[in-house]
């Protein structure tokens, strides 16, 4: 890649703001990279929609990032990865990473007994993309998290209900197959018990991207902190509050509302 091209940003898209948990890991692992993030907040959530709708939306998201001249794309949404990942990878000429393959690889590496479970949206779970034996859709987790209701008795009861299946089957590793879920990691860990390893797809995909950029000589070799730009398709008053919860830091960077 020509030297000036190394500075092209990493493109990251998600159905909404959950993908910012991926950006959080990217900032930590690849601090010099420029990042362009797109959250399709006008049409979030993807997790309850049809394959056809998710494919259409995902291509629109990716095309926006391509217009922003990104050097690679991370599909930071498990539902998009599951329902549109393969098609996006085939049709787009720059590297496209989805969260599924790295997350699954990481889960297999850390699992002691190979009894791996996964939780995700209905779309992700029904797609079977993770090819994991123990799988449960947890559709109410996303609304709870988006509402900032990340603790409390009601969420605990919902968790108990969703996770009882995994406890019955004595899994040793649980994939958090939705980029929202790391926000309620504590509640899930408490319910599953401390011996079950939780795998965060944000961390897994950030590590995979670092390896890829490094081995393909695509790393930004600048020494300054990378620039971050955030784009959303709908902007409400609550945006900053929710976004900062996912990102784990203040948003001081460029933020704009765009149409797809």
Strand 228-232 versus strand 35-39 pairing type? parallel
Q: Name residue 37's beta-bridge partners.
A: 12, 230
**Measured from the CB of residue 258, what is the shortest distance to its own copies in angstroms?**
12
- Selecting among 6, 36, 77, 205, the annotated active-site residue is 77
Phi, psi of 36, rounded to the nearest 5 degrees? -115, 120
Q: Which is nearer to its own copies, 173 or 233 (CB)?
A: 233
Known active-site residue 138: no
- Selecting among 35, 178, 184, 192, the annotated active-site residue is 178
Q: Which is nearer to its own copies, 142 or 204 (CB)?
A: 142
With contact defined as beta carbons under 8 Å apart, do 187 and 41 qualify? no
**Measured from the CB of residue 158, what is the shortest distance to its own copies in angstroms?**
5
Which stretch of DSSP H or E encloses residue 117?
strand 116-120
**Measured from the CB of residue 5, what is the shortest distance to its own copies in angstroms?**
35
Q: What is the DSSP letter of 225?
A: P
Binding site for its own copies (CB under 8 A): 41-43, 48-50, 52-53, 122, 139-140, 142-144, 146-147, 149, 152-155, 157-158, 161, 234-236, 238
Q: Which is nearer to its own copies, 35 or 54 (CB)?
A: 54
Tokens linked to 57: 């939306």
Residue position matching structure tokens 């950006």: 23
**Measured from the CB of residue 14, what is the shortest distance to its own copies in angstroms?**
16
Q: Which is nearer to its own copies, 140 or 212 (CB)?
A: 140
Tokens linked to 71: 């050097």
Long-range contact pairs involving 129-133 (C-beta distance under 8 Å, separation at least 24): 129/81, 129/82, 129/83, 129/85, 129/100, 130/82, 130/100, 130/103, 130/104, 130/175, 130/177, 131/104, 132/104, 132/107, 132/175
Q: Which is nearer to its own copies, 23 or 142 (CB)?
A: 142
Known active-site residue 77: yes
Q: Cα(138)–Cα(162) distance, rounded to whole angstroms?
A: 6
With contact defined as beta carbons under 8 Å apart, do 189 and 212 qualify? no
**Measured from the CB of residue 145, what is the shortest distance to its own copies in angstroms?**
11
Residues with a catalytic annotation lie at 77, 178
């Amino acid at each position: 890649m020509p030297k000036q091209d190394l500075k092209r940003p990493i493109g990251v898209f998600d159905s909404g703001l959950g993908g910012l948990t991926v950006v959080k890991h990217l900032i930590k692992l690849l601090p010099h990279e420029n990042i362009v993030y797109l959250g399709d907040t006008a049409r979030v959530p993807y997790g309850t929609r049809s394959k056809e709708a998710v494919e259409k939306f995902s291509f629109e998201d990716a095309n926006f990032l391509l217009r922003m001249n990104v050097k690679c794309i991370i599909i930071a949404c498990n539902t998009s990865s599951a329902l549109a990942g393969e098609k996006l990878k085939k049709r787009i000429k720059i590297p496209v990473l989805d969260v599924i393959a790295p997350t699954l690889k990481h889960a297999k590496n850390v699992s002691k007994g190979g009894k791996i479970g996964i939780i995700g949206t209905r779309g992700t779970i029904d797609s079977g993309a993770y090819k994991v034996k123990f799988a449960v859709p947890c559709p109410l987790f996303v609304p709870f998290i988006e509402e900032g209701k990340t603790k409390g008795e009601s969420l605990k009861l919902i968790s108990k209900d969703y996770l009882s299946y995994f406890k019955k089957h004595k899994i040793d590793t649980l994939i958090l197959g939705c980029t929202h879920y790391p926000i309620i990691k504590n509640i899930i860990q408490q319910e599953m018990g401390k011996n079950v390893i939780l795998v965060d797809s944000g961390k897994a995909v950030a590590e995979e991207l670092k390896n890829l950029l490094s081995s393909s000589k695509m790393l930004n070799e600048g020494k300054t902190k990378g620039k971050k730009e955030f784009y959303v398709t709908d902007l409400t008053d609550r945006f900053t509050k929710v976004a900062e919860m996912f990102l784990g830091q203040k948003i001081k960077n460029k933020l704009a509302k765009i149409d797809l």
